[in-house]
Structure 1
C-alpha cells in the first residue's frame, strides 16, 4: 500500500474512532432487541455490546441468537407480522434481498458513514433493484481444510498439496483405522461448504465470471469434472455419512475420531475451546504447481428493522458497526476478518486465513445464485447429496443444477 493510501486509511480510521469515542446524544432509556443466528458468538457479542453501552448509557441491547437453520424463517415470519427485532443480523446477497425488497429494512445511505467499506464488500448488502445499502457488512468467511496436528504427526503425515496427495493421505488414515474426513451430508449446507474447498481448483478462476455472465453454464466440462472429484472423496467420509449432521461432524473432529474437517473460518474459536491441536490449509490444487484457491464470501450484515419504534437508537448501534473500533473488537472477540477497514489481528490463525485470500474465488452459489427460487445452493446441496451416495453421476447432477438455475423464478 502506498504512503498516500496509508495516510488516507489512517485518517479515516482516526475519524471513525473519534466518532465512536464521543457519547451519542441523550436518548430516552431504550432497550433494543438484536437477533442473530450466531449462537457460538454470544460471549463475544455481549462483550462488544458492553463497550457500546459505556458510551451510550441510555441504550441497552439484548442479543438473542436463534438456531442457524431456522433463523431466516423465524425472522421473516416476525417481520411479515409487523414485529421482529430492532437490530437485525442479516445474511447477505439473496437472503438480504428477500427481506430488503419487501421493505422490512431501513436503507442506510445518508444515515451511516460507509466510507471504511469497499464497493465489493457492500455488494452483499446492497439491493440490486434500487442500489441502496441496507446493512453494514460484518465479516468475510473462508472455506479451509482443518486437520488434527497430533494425528498427522503420529501418522508421519505431511499436509498434502495436490488432490492426489490428499487422497493418498486420506487412504493412509483410513487404513490406520482413523476416519479421514469428519464431513457428512445430512445438513445440505455443510456439503456445499465442503465443495468450496475442492471444486474451485478444478473448475478454475475464470469459471465464476463466465458462468455469471452467461458465457457458459453448469454443464461446462470443467464443472462436471469438479463434481466428479467431489464424488471421489465419499469413501473417506464417515461410515453412514448420509446421517452425519453438523453437530456430529464437529464432535467427530474435536474428539479425534476424524483427522480432517472442511469448514469455514468461523470454526477457529470452537476448535480452540475444545482444546484441539489443529492447523489449517487451503483445499488441494488440481495438479502440482496449480492454484490452491479458497472460496470466500461476505457473511452478512447489521441492519435496522424499518418498523422499529426505536429506529434512531438502533441506527446509533449500526453507525458503531461501521467504525474501526468495532472492527477491532470483532477481530479480537470473534476471530473474524472484518469488512470494515483498519482492524489488525494478532491471531496467527486469522493471519493465515487472510494470507489465503491472495488466491480467493467467490463462494459461487451464495454470491451469485441465491436470488431466485430454487436457489443455486438448494440445487447444489441436493445434487451433492445424490452424488456422494452414488444415486446420480456428475453429469446428471450438473444438468440438474444448470436446468434448475435457468428455470428459477
Structure 2
C-alpha cells in the first residue's frame, strides 16, 4: 500500500514538473530557414525583453518539406505552439482539419485591414485562422551602370521595355537574366508580375472566378504574348539555367535586367559593386492605371492543441504590434508588413517597391485563391506552360487554351460560360 501511494505521488510530481517545464515556453515553426539567426538574435529577444518568463524557440524546416512535415506533426500532436502559415488553401486546409485556432477578435488582429486577411480566412470571410505578417512585391531590377552607358531610362510601358531590351541586345551586354529550369520562376516572377497590367488586376481575377472571363480572352492572351516576346532576349542556355544561375549571372554585372521578387534584394545587397535600380511592371499603354503583384506570403497561426495558448496569444499580440512590423520589414529585406502601421522602409530598393502601393493597385497571384482546387492543378500547369512559352516551345494562344481547358474541366462557372451562347 505505501508503495502504491509512493507511485501515485511520483506520477503526480512528474506530471506537475512536465507542466511547469511547458509553461513559459513556446515553439515557433517556420519554413524560413534563412531567418533563423534573425529570429534568435533580434526578433525573439525583442519579444522576450517585454515578456520576461516567456521563452520562444525558433524551429525551422526546409521550405520543400515544411507543408507535409507540419501536417504530420499536427496530426500526431507534436507540432509547435505557433506556426508560420502559407497563404490561401494550404493553411485553409489545416484550419478545416481543426489544427489552427480561430483568431477573430484576438489582440493584435485589429491592426490589419480586411484586404490583408484574404489569404488566411475562410471563403465566406467569417473565420480568420492566421495573422498576416508580410507580403512580397514583384518588379524588375536593372543595372544602373549599363543603363547609363547605353543612355537608357527605366521603361514605363511595354513599348519602352522592349525598346530597351533591343538596345541592350545590340551592345556587349546581355538583356535578361532569367532561366526556366526552375519553372516556378516563369509563373511567379514573370507571368503574375506583368499580368495584372493586362487583365486589370483584381477585376480580371474576379471575372475568372465568376465565370465572366476566360483565359482565352484577349487580356490574358496578351500577358502570354508578352512572355512569348521575351524568348528572343533570354540566354541561350535558359532551359538549363536555374534560379540561382540567374541570380549569379545578374550579380556578375554584365546583364541589364532581372525579373525580381522583392526577396531577391537581400541577395544582391551582398554585391556592393552592383549599382541597382528597380522599375514597376510595364504598363500595356501609357496612362493605364498601374497594377502590382503584392502577394501575401507569410502569416502566423496558433496550434489548437498547444499546451500553452495563454503565452501563444501574448506572442501573437506582439506579432501584430508596430515594433514587430518595423523589425520584420527592415531586417527581413523585401518582406513588407501587412499591418496598418506606418513603417519607414530603410533599404532604398525595398522603399521604392513599397511606395508602389501608394500609386498602384495591389494584387495577389492570379490563381492563388480557388483556382488551384481542382485537377489538373492550375499552379502546376502554369509553371509548365509559362516555362514553355519563355522557351519558345508554346505559343501564347495555345498556352491560354491549355490553362482554360484544364480550368473548365472541374470549375463549374467556367463550364457554364463555355456552354453559353
TM-score by length of 2: 0.84
- Aligned match of 2:16: none
Select which of 195, 202, 211 maps to 1:199. 195
Aligned position for 2:4: none
In 1: Cα distance, 2:133 partner to 2:271 partner: 25
Q: Match of 1:38?
A: 32
**Aligned residue among 129, 135, 146 for 1:134:** 129
Residue correspondence of structure 1 range 71-220 to structure 2 within 5 A: 71-128=66-123, 131-192=126-187, 193-205=189-201, 206-220=203-217
Query: Contact conserved, 1:327 with 1:343, CA < 8 A, in 2?
Result: no
Q: Which moved more, 1:107-116 or 1:320-329?
A: 107-116
Gaps of 5+ in 2: 1-19, 412-421
Correspondence for 2:248: 251
**What secondary structure does 1:83 align onto?**
coil
More divergent stretch after superposition (194-203 vs 49-58): 194-203
**Corresponding pairs, count:** 384
Shift in Å, 1:50: 1.0
Q: Which residue number in structure 1 is paired with residue 287 of structure 2? A: 289
Distance 1:287-1:321 versus aligned 2 partners, 3 A rule? same
Helix, strand or coil at the partner of 1:75 = helix
Query: In the alignment, does 2:379 pair up with 1:381?
Result: no
Q: Against the structure 1 CA distance between its residues 371 and 96, is the aligned structure 2 distance closer, same or farther, given a 3 Å change threshold?
A: farther
How much has 1:371 moved relative to structure 2? 4.0
Does the residue aligned with 1:295 lie in a helix, a strand or coil?
Answer: strand
Query: Is the contact between residue 180 and residue 238 of structure 2 (CA under 8 Å) also seen in structure 1?
Result: yes
Take 1:313 and 1:388, find their aligned partners in 2: how far apart are those partners? 49
What CA RMSD, in Å, does the superposition of the two structures yield over aligned residues? 2.4
Closer, same or farther: CA 79–175 of 1 in aligned 2, 3 Å: farther
In the alignment, which residue of structure 1 is the partner of 2:366?
364
From 229, 233, 246, the counterpart of 1:232 = 229
Task: Look up the match of 1:337.
Answer: 336
Larger radius of gyration: 2
Kept after mapping to 1: 8 A contact 2:143/2:275: yes
1:299 corresponds to which residue? 297
Distance 1:199 1:129 in 2: 27
- Output the CA distance in 1 between the equivalents of 2:308 and 2:289: 49
CA distance in 2, matches of 1:405, 1:61: 43
